[in-house]
């Protein structure tokens, strides 16, 4: 995680591990943003499997 004027930048790999995303979702985020993205963009676009 790196702070910039626009907010925090996260490695997509670290974000996926922290939020326990599937490999498929990690790959989707990598396709959208590349290896690094803003925290707000990752949080807004990440999909998690919901176990109900």
> Which pLDDT belongs to residue 18?
95
Tens of pLDDT, residues 1-52: 666 666 799 999 999 999 999 999 999 999 999 999 999 999 999 987 755 4
Measured distance CA(38)–CA(52) in Å, rounded: 29
> Which pLDDT belongs to residue 7?
78
| Reported pTM | 0.80
Within-domain flag for 39: yes
In degrees rounded to 5, what are phi and psi of residue 41?
-65, -40
> Which pLDDT belongs to residue 25?
95
List all residues 6 or more positions away from 39 whose beta carbon is below 8 Å from its beta carbon: 1, 7, 8, 9, 10, 15
> Which pLDDT belongs to residue 3?
61
Within-domain flag for 52: no
Within-domain flag for 10: yes
DSSP letter at 6 equals: T
In terms of Cα–Cα distance, which of 47, 49, 3, 51 is closest to 27?
A: 47
Q: Are 19 and 33 in contact (CB under 8 A)?
A: no
Within-domain flag for 51: no
| Domain carrying residue 11 | 2-45
Domain count across the chain: 1
């Amino acid at each position: 995680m790196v702070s910039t004027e626009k907010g925090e930048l996260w490695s997509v790999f670290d974000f996926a591990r922290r939020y326990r995303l599937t490999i498929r979702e990690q790959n989707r985020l990598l396709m959208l943003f590349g290896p690094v993205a803003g925290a707000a963009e990752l949080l807004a676009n990440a999909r998690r499997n919901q176990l109900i």
